Amino acid sequence: MSSTILISGGTLPDGKKSDLLIKDGVIAEIATAIKAEGAHTIDASKAILLPGLVDLHTHLREPGKEDAETVESGSRAGVKGGFTALSAMANTSPVADTAGVVEQVYRLGQSAGLLDVFPIGAVTRGLEGEHLAEIGAMADSVARVRVFSDDGHCVFDPLVMRRALEYVKKFDGVIAQHAQEPRLTQGSQMNEGIVSSQLGLKGWPAIAEEAIIARDVLLADHVQSRLHICHLTTAGGVEIIRWAKARGIDVTAEVTPHHLLLTDELARSYDPVFKVNPPLRTESDVMALREALADGTIDIVATDHAPHPAETKECEWQEASFGMLGLETALSIVNKTMVETGLMNWSTVAERMSYAPARIGRYSQQGQELAVGAPAHIAVMDPTQLFRVDRDLVASRSRNTPFHGMELPGQILATIFAGRVVFEGNHV
């Protein structure tokens, strides 16, 4: 394939129609009616051109859980969804709590070659919440880790959390907290509320999330360090983040696509595909999250892409694993919930799904505006083209998408990474 790519007639995030010429891995020209004989041409006349999407929160499972996902299969799912950078959470086996493991994940991403894979390092050894992991060694490693998280587990001990926040300051790192007070959520199965009471399933109360968020923003303020809140789900949590930002506390937050669309009413089916941590909440929570994403209280969209093999999801609800797929449908769901509703425009989508996550993760070669000289990381999407989600056609190794059978607006036509077409015409 030609190393020169012409994207013809696309609409930039600011609404302007333009062609993009890509040469040698960078954007060489932005203009109308560009002529490029011999170039690989992509017809974008009905498409929005976005900077390559950046996901700050995925579970790629490798090493140790390759039956659910590998770095390569997760990368394939990523480019199918318009992503050019994924951040891989630390709950692998072995846990990514040493320089050796994060370097392995980093090199697996390079070997796959479809997008940038940035390992996230564990905050504590073995995700056990007791002793700090090799944070400095991971930061100094080839992987240059800047995001640390025990996601799937909350760093519940306030002293350990304080020490972690203090430690990452020296290299401008950030702690990404899974906000869940464990004593309030033991044995929980879904959101605590009317539905959980009617179904007889143990509830996961909103206060368990909000209490940790409140504690941690105060800790971050006290030590003057960067804090990121993973998968915000409650209206109360939104208000705490809004208060913290008004005080000038250096906190950022993310929301997942599934928490922008789905509610706890879906648990009435007893289908474990809807079992996730933190759980699906109420309609009022969903509306609060949408408003907060629109006004910037919530900084980014992150998928929390969590693949699981069939045996851990196609079983009784109480026995099923928490988590759902998200990479291949994220942009379409944001289009449906935020753009088509008038809450956001495409410039804001670019900010929430590319620029801001790259800034938080300190990914210098990602999340850049589409401009001459910038790295050619680009997602080409037709926002009007509908597609039906089919769990049997996903690129992930797992099939646990909660959107199976849904018709969503917005088809990724092509994904370009470092000046190469890595996805086009439904082919990776």
One domain, residues 411 and 337 = no
In a domain, 220, yes or no: yes
One domain, residues 36 and 75 = no
CATH number of the domain residue 381 falls in? 2.30.40.10
pLDDT for position 428? 83
In a domain, 228, yes or no: yes
pLDDT for position 1? 45
Which residues does 321 contact at the CB level (< 8 Å), separation at least 6?
272, 275, 308, 312, 313
When divided into structural domains, the chain yields a total of 2
One domain, residues 192 and 334 = yes
Q: What is the 3-state secondary structure (H, E, C) of the chain?
A: CCCCEEEEEEECCCCCEEEEEEECCEEEEEECCCCCCCCEEEECCCCEEEECEEEEEECCCCCCCCCCCCHHHHHHHHHHCCEEEEEECCCCCCCCCCHHHHHHHHHHHHHHCCCEEEECECCEHHHCCCCECCHHHHHHCCCCCCEECCCCCCCCCHHHHHHHHHHHHHHCCEEEECCCCHHHCCCCCEECCHHHHHHCCCEECHHHHHHHHHHHHHHHHHHCCCEEECCCCCHHHHHHHHHHHHCCCCEEEEECHHHHHCCHHHHHHCCHHHCCCCCCCCHHHHHHHHHHHHHCCCCEECCCECCCCHHHCCCCHHHCCCCCCCCCCHHHHHHHHHHCCCCCCHHHHHHHHHHHHHHHHCCCCCCCCCCCCCECCEEEEEEEEEEECCHHHCCCCCCCCCCCCCEEEEEEEEEEECCEEEEECCEC
One domain, residues 213 and 64 = yes
Distance of CA 32 to the CA centre of its chain: 33
Catalytic position from the list 116, 304, 382, 390: 304
250 is catalytic: no
In a domain, 366, yes or no: no
Q: Which residues pair with 83 in a beta bridge?
A: 53
Instruction: Give the position of tokens 């303020």.
Output: 221
Smallest Cα–Cα separation from 422: which of 84, 87, 45, 73? 84
Sign of CA pseudo-dihedral 177, 102, 93, 395: positive
For the chain, residues with pLDDT lower than 50 are 1
First to last CA, the chain: 14
Q: Which residues of 211-240 are buried (b: 16+ CB within 10 A; e: fewer)?
A: bbbbbbbebbbebebbbbbbbbbbbbbbeb
Q: Rounded distance, CA 165 to CA 225, Å? A: 6
Q: Rounded distance, CA 252 to CA 272, Å? A: 30
One domain, residues 253 and 116 = yes
One domain, residues 292 and 420 = no
pLDDT for position 110? 98
In a domain, 36, yes or no: yes
CATH number of the domain residue 301 falls in? 3.20.20.140
One domain, residues 108 and 169 = yes
One domain, residues 112 and 22 = no
One domain, residues 71 and 122 = yes
In a domain, 279, yes or no: yes
| CA-to-CA dists, residue 5 to 30, 76, 376, angstroms | 12, 21, 10
Q: What tens digit of pLDDT does each residue of 256-314 get?
A: 999 999 999 999 999 999 999 999 999 999 999 999 999 999 999 999 999 999 999 99
pLDDT for position 2? 54
Peptide bond into 357 cis (omega under 30): no
* Single pTM value for the model: 0.97
One domain, residues 279 and 382 = no
Q: Rounded distance, CA 177 to CA 156, Å? A: 10
One domain, residues 289 and 381 = no
Task: Residue 11: give the domain boundaries.
Answer: 5-48+374-396+407-424
One domain, residues 15 and 77 = no
